Amino acid sequence: MAHIQIRIPIAEKEAAGEVLENMGLNFSSAIKIFLRRTVQEGKLPFEVVADSSVASSSRFENSLDPQCNSFSQRNIG
């Protein structure tokens, strides 16, 4: 088995944990489902679109989370 480690803001982790718990899942199971569906479908199992409110060349820099120095998704939902 492989080990995957990610860094996300604490608030996002807690909110996701609540949603997953309500679904009877933990993070490990949810990530396994995500990866399995990605392989089966040959693409991400959901649509990804650009945030039209961020139209500058600094889009990537604005998307960096200063707490964990990693790319983060905005406006989830």
pLDDT, one tens digit per residue, over 14-73 is: 999 999 999 999 999 999 999 999 999 999 999 988 877 655 545 545 455 555 554 444
Neighbours of 1 (CB within 10 A): 2
Contact between 30 and 20 (Cβ < 8 Å): yes
Please check whether residue 50 lies inside any domain of the structure. no
Q: How big is the CA angle at 27 (ends 21 and 31), to the nearest 5 degrees?
A: 125
Q: Is residue 27 part of a domain?
A: yes
Q: Is residue 32 part of a domain?
A: yes
The answer to whether residue 75 scores a pLDDT higher than 50 is no
Give how many domains the chain has, as a whole number: 1
14, part of any domain: yes
Answer yes or no: are the C-beta atoms of 21 and 31 closer than 8 Å: no
Q: Is residue 74 part of a domain?
A: no
Q: How far apart are CA 49 and CA 55, in angstroms?
A: 13
Domain that holds residue 62: 10-45+55-69
Of residues 2 and 62, more confidently modeled = 2
Q: Which two tokens stand for residue 74?
A: 């905005």
Q: What is the pTM of this model?
A: 0.62
